[in-house]
Structure 1
Amino acid sequence: MQIKEYILWLWKTTKGVRATMACNTIFGILHVGTSIFFIWTSKHLIDIATGKSEGPFVLFVCIIVVCVVLQQLLSAVIKRQESLTETKLANRLRHSLFIHIMKGPLTSSENIHTGDIINRLEKDVNIVANLLSHVIPSGCVTSIRMFAAFIFLLSLDIRLAGIILLIMPVTLLSSKRHIHKMRKLTENIRITDSHIQIYLQDNLQHRTLISALSATNLASQRLFSLQNILYRQIKCRTDFYIFSRTMVQSGFAAGHTTAFLWGVFCLWQGTVTFGTVTAFIQLANQVQQPIVKLGNHIMAFIHTFTSVERLNGLATLKTEKQDTPIKLGNMPGIRLENVYFSYPNDDRNIIENFSHNFIPGSLTAILGKSGTGKSTLLHLLAALLIPQKGNIILYDRKQEAVASPQTRCNIVYVPQGNTLLNGTIRDNLLLGKPDASDEELHDALIVSAADFVYELPQGLNTPCRELGTGLSEGQAQRIAIARGLLHTGGILLLDEPTASLDKDTERILLDRLTESVLDKTIIIVTHKQSTAQFCTHIVNI
């Protein structure tokens, strides 16, 4: 991304919170005004106390107290608003990216590991939210603070102001080489951090396999190696950052020392009052401290540049065309005409010149060896994948429609394996039909031979932990089928629904499906001849 694209991306992200950011900046400016006024008041108060000038001593004391109280109140308001703005920004950005990814086609994010996606949605989103809610408003306020303090110092002593200006290490902060190197170091750290997230997620999800292979020590060693790489990268960036910060703080120390010695010298010469000397020191701090702070803000911008690029990588993933759903009548059919399909970056056709008509109300078994494209065919029927050639058409007695995300409302797809989400059994069932009654849930569980749920101690409220822990593969699969039956689509796609079932349970499930599900066109991918025998049609791939 170029700088212009980077700024434009950040600007779009602030939509909805720009007014709040502006208010935070205004509160910050008020805080600056209060601080400068405090310095002016303290100067006069000291001069009154030392007899160098006259004025209402009590009034100036009251003003000092009011300034301190106002600064504390404004600081509290600013901190509160920054925290709420950061949370709101992070939630909105994370939500929009989540929806964008979920609306993408099946192959849109296949080159990005889910661990990497989660890492971006968590850490990179938080970095960007912090920049927009805190760093940018604070940077504006800091610049104004530095400018206002310099003007005040200029009005007191033009020579000291000139010296302070010369000491400012602006060239170091704006060094192109400095920015480029920090950005590269940050980019490497974020990539390694994602690799660690991916590794942790993979190993935790498959810890049973790793334990069974006695590979826990190997997994631990590999994690240790990744963490060492991250440690060295952070050490390198930290050393470079500390060197740069030390240079800036050296300029700050030089400016502070210069202001102090200059004030002592002028006081010795009798050209200034003691109150003016204290103003010199305070104003020098007000000029120098913002320089250090702006240096930190520049570092934050550099760090965020990498995060913006990583999030933009998610935001630019392709999405499916969103349009009005095309709802066909009950029990539609689906026809394939000379369909070809191959995955991206793969010249081999998984599906080649395939034609078949799944007539309305039919019960069809799709048989074939592993790797022949049976599951891919179901993805094509559900428009989760789009063929390179040929047509897939859904039809009823009145209309036809080419398979697309808009026709997916007619499809009920039950994938192979455990697809239960974290939550209760009831939560998983309601994903198929959010407003389903207990009676409808009961009927779906009966048809799918999942009525064992009512024998569990907590029944429908039994928790389904990560990857369905606590339930067998067969139990989880039957609950998933019940969830699919609750959906209103007229075409039911089942991918290996009996793979984890014994013969008796398989027969019960197929008997109930064939007897009860009379309003759907059913297509079953299976490798079992016993399952195919229940079907009215068989397609061999």
Structure 2
Amino acid sequence: MPPDTSSPRRPLLSSNSLWRMRSYLRPYVAKLVFIWLAALLGIGASIALPLVGKEVIDGPVLHGDSGALLPLGLVALGLGVVEAFLIFIRRWSQIGPVLGLETRIRDDLYEHLQRLPMGFHGEWQSGQLLSRATTDLSTIRRFLGFGMLFLVMNILQLSVVTVLLLNMYWPLGLLVAASAVPIIVVSLRFEKRYIKISRQVQDEQGDLATLVEESAIGIRTIKAFGRRHHVYDQYDDAARKVYDTSMDKVRLSARFFTFLEVIPNFTLALVLLLGALAVGGGSLTLGTLVAFTTLMLQLVWPIASLGYILAMAQESMTSADRVMEVMDTVPAIAGGARTVERPRGHLRFEGVEFRFPGADRPVLHDVWLEVRPGETVAVVGATGSGKTTLTSLVPRLIDPTAGRVTIDGHDVRDLTLPALREVVATAFEEPTLFSMSVRENLMLGRPDATEEELDAAIRTAQAMFVYDLPWGLDTRIGEQGLSLSGGQRQRLALARAVLSRPRILVLDDTLSALDVETEALVEEALRHVLREATGIVVAHRASTVLLADKVALLAGGTITHVGRHQELLTDVPEYRELLAQDADLDPSEGALR
């Protein structure tokens, strides 16, 4: 998770974020102009109605001229119909642009998340990202679809009506204008406090979403250890934290909204009192007072709604900043421009070093290793020695901080990412399966695979159990493949990697969850696959080493020995000790099985 998510780490809506938001709005400018025009004409019609009422009262009603009453009545009716029609047009027209804008931002956000490297996803909580892609975008949509339009409309209506009131009867107009001063002062104070507390609520909701997601994914472990009450207490603490902060937010809003309700109504009471005295004194006509009061009533909603709209605006700005916080993150791993024609799969590590950001010492340093086309190398090392980090460098899940990794003489950083990922396929120790059918999971890396190729990959990975599932390959497996055993998930992940027919196949301890009998069958089938590809295999089991043509011993963050299994077993005590921990090794014979 990014540090200090309780408050913004940069000014709300930086210049880059504002530029990006403008770029999202640009395709909808024409429709937005039409919407704004309809809104402005609607305001004009609503303001004109009280002025027509003034003419009715001071004209036909005062003088008893019924003949002049009908035309003015028709004008008032026409203005009412026009206002209602313009409101309908405005609301009908704004649906498409607003929903289209939300969809476009969400698509871009998801696409950008796919471009960001593993380091980014390792630092951020998934719940924080989920809340940005759902709750925050909905908040932005609500403001763009309602709040922004009414904010401008209300400010415009307040300004125009205030000028009209001053023109009608300046003493009462000044009273109305003066009542805006405390509202402006309190609004500015409210805005500063609301920004902070709104961001805090949104970040805490992201933390809560993370707890829910982790509990759902890890439900089997929670139940197995009987930790239901423990995780519930964690959830309850986070939920109460959200509740307490939300209540602080509500109290702040309630005080502000109440203030906005009191000022206009108090001002209206004074206007009626002083206006009645002015009519009695002859300095103000009854029609003018009625029109003044009607226009004054038109200010009650804009002023009362100002709090809601300002709150919505602050939440939207905070949400936009949270979304742009992700969108403005520059991918640390960007593809080059080169492609590999007729790749052979010649893999080299040339003086490679990798250091995690902020770490005191590198995980890997001065790593030199060559894997020739069609050759398989087993990487052996103690737990935590950096084997997974080493293999992650090949498909560029991470990049070395020094040195380089080359394929057929080309630095992998110079290759386009699609070209690189076509050449390299990886099967991980912890396989990831998606909530889709078995077929879709297997064809993730190669959508054009035939049924024969699919069957061959399944048999290579000894994953024939898929044919016994209720709907065979079309059976939908649960999220993370939790309906399958660990060994079944590993075999499906292996089949997926084999199906992509890579020139370089990376196996990160892919057979660790298999029983001995299944492992032997998988290894036998893999030998045929690895003859046609360059292989790099992370080995924890002694039996897995037999898949390789040679072995690389990783110790102290570097490759200390490279050679054939028998040579290392005889000459390198560290290697012998590592393999001796596996039951497959018979130390008295000094060989495997």
Report if the CA contact (8 A) 2:128-2:206 is conserved: yes
1:252-282 deviation digits (Å, cap 9, x = unpaired)? 1122223333443344445555443332222
Trace 1:7-86 onto structure 2 (pairs within 5 A): 7-8=18-19, 10-46=21-57, 50-52=61-63, 54=65, 56-86=68-98
Change in CA separation of 1:132 and 1:338 when aligned onto 2, cut-off 3 Å: same
Q: CA deviation at 1:490?
A: 1.2
User: Please, which moves more after superposition, 296-305 or 408-417?
Assistant: 296-305
User: Please, which moves more after superposition, 519-528 or 166-175?
Assistant: 166-175
C-alpha distance in 2 between matches for 1:26 and 1:322: 46
1:441 aligns with 2:447: no
Q: What secondary structure sits across from 2:352 in the alignment?
A: strand
User: Please, which moves more after superposition, 296-305 or 458-467?
Assistant: 296-305
C-alpha distance in 1 between matches for 2:541 and 2:361: 27
Change in CA separation of 1:267 and 1:362 when aligned onto 2, cut-off 3 Å: same
C-alpha distance in 2 between matches for 1:53 and 1:290: 36
1:358 aligns with 2:371: yes
Trace 1:84-233 onto structure 2 (pairs within 5 A): 84-170=96-182, 172-173=184-185, 176-233=188-245
2:405 alignment partner AA: I
1:296 alignment partner AA: Y
Per the alignment, residue 405 of structure 2 pairs with 392
Change in CA separation of 1:452 and 1:212 when aligned onto 2, cut-off 3 Å: closer
C-alpha distance in 2 between matches for 1:487 and 1:512: 16
1:353 alignment partner AA: D
1:487 aligns with 2:515: no
1:23 alignment partner AA: F
User: Please, which moves more after superposition, 67-76 or 202-211?
Assistant: 67-76
C-alpha distance in 1 between matches for 2:320 and 2:271: 41
Report if the CA contact (8 A) 2:125-2:207 is conserved: no
Q: CA deviation at 1:325?
A: 4.9
Q: CA deviation at 1:384?
A: 1.5
1:366-401 deviation digits (Å, cap 9, x = unpaired)? 222211111111101112211122221111xxxx21
Change in CA separation of 1:475 and 1:140 when aligned onto 2, cut-off 3 Å: same
Q: CA deviation at 1:76?
A: 3.0
C-alpha distance in 2 between matches for 1:431 and 1:44: 74
C-alpha distance in 2 between matches for 1:322 and 1:68: 60
1:196-243 deviation digits (Å, cap 9, x = unpaired)? 122222222112211222221122222222222222212222222222
Per the alignment, residue 583 of structure 2 pairs with none
2:386 alignment partner AA: G
Per the alignment, residue 578 of structure 2 pairs with none
Report if the CA contact (8 A) 1:367-1:539 is conserved: yes
C-alpha distance in 1 between matches for 2:200 and 2:448: 48
Change in CA separation of 1:526 and 1:517 when aligned onto 2, cut-off 3 Å: closer
2:411 alignment partner AA: V
Change in CA separation of 1:276 and 1:291 when aligned onto 2, cut-off 3 Å: same
Change in CA separation of 1:23 and 1:518 when aligned onto 2, cut-off 3 Å: farther
Change in CA separation of 1:315 and 1:367 when aligned onto 2, cut-off 3 Å: same
Report if the CA contact (8 A) 1:167-1:254 is conserved: no
TM-score scaled by length of structure 1: 0.91
C-alpha distance in 2 between matches for 1:433 and 1:51: 85
2:351 alignment partner AA: N
1:435 alignment partner AA: D
Gaps of 5+ in 2: 1-9, 555-593
Q: What secondary structure sits across from 1:337 in the alignment?
A: strand
C-alpha distance in 1 between matches for 2:441 and 2:63: 80
Per the alignment, residue 243 of structure 1 pairs with 255
Trace 1:364-403 onto structure 2 (pairs within 5 A): 364-395=377-408, 400-403=409-412
User: Please, which moves more after superposition, 259-268 or 227-236?
Assistant: 259-268
C-alpha distance in 2 between matches for 1:351 and 1:375: 11
Q: What secondary structure sits across from 1:463 in the alignment?
A: coil
Trace 1:262-281 onto structure 2 (pairs within 5 A): 262-269=274-281, 272-281=284-293
Per the alignment, residue 423 of structure 1 pairs with 436
C-alpha distance in 2 between matches for 1:200 and 1:101: 21
Report if the CA contact (8 A) 1:325-1:409 is conserved: no
Change in CA separation of 1:16 and 1:415 when aligned onto 2, cut-off 3 Å: farther
Q: CA deviation at 1:175?
A: 5.5
Q: What secondary structure sits across from 2:447 in the alignment?
A: coil
User: Please, which moves more after superposition, 61-70 or 275-284?
Assistant: 61-70
Per the alignment, residue 269 of structure 2 pairs with 257
Change in CA separation of 1:538 and 1:325 when aligned onto 2, cut-off 3 Å: same
Gaps of 5+ in 1: none
Paired residue total: 537
1:345-376 deviation digits (Å, cap 9, x = unpaired)? 21232222221111101122222221111111
Report if the CA contact (8 A) 1:464-1:470 is conserved: yes
1:321-354 deviation digits (Å, cap 9, x = unpaired)? 2443522424411011222212112123222222
Per the alignment, residue 513 of structure 1 pairs with 526
C-alpha distance in 1 between matches for 2:27 and 2:168: 43
Report if the CA contact (8 A) 1:25-1:140 is conserved: no
Q: CA deviation at 1:109?
A: 3.8
C-alpha distance in 2 between matches for 1:32 and 1:171: 22
Report if the CA contact (8 A) 1:420-1:476 is conserved: yes
1:81-136 deviation digits (Å, cap 9, x = unpaired)? 44433322222222222222221222134321111111122222222333333322
C-alpha distance in 2 between matches for 1:227 and 1:335: 51
Q: What secondary structure sits across from 1:107 in the alignment?
A: helix
1:283 to 291, 295, 299: 295
Report if the CA contact (8 A) 1:419-1:467 is conserved: yes
Q: CA deviation at 1:468?
A: 0.6
Report if the CA contact (8 A) 2:376-2:530 is conserved: no
Q: What secondary structure sits across from 1:303 in the alignment?
A: helix
C-alpha distance in 2 between matches for 1:183 and 1:176: 11
TM-score scaled by length of structure 2: 0.84
RMSD over equivalenced CA pairs, Å: 2.5
Q: What secondary structure sits across from 1:492 in the alignment?
A: strand
C-alpha distance in 2 between matches for 1:270 and 1:340: 92
Report if the CA contact (8 A) 1:47-1:275 is conserved: yes
Q: CA deviation at 1:49?
A: 6.2
1:529 alignment partner AA: A
User: Please, which moves more after superposition, 415-424 or 431-440?
Assistant: 431-440
Q: What secondary structure sits across from 1:329 in the alignment?
A: coil
Identity %: 22
1:482 alignment partner AA: A
Change in CA separation of 1:401 and 1:66 when aligned onto 2, cut-off 3 Å: same
2:221 alignment partner AA: L
Report if the CA contact (8 A) 2:60-2:68 is conserved: no
C-alpha distance in 2 between matches for 1:125 and 1:201: 19
1:152 alignment partner AA: L
C-alpha distance in 2 between matches for 1:528 and 1:417: 16
Per the alignment, residue 497 of structure 1 pairs with 510
Change in CA separation of 1:411 and 1:516 when aligned onto 2, cut-off 3 Å: closer
1:533 aligns with 2:546: yes
2:471 alignment partner AA: Q
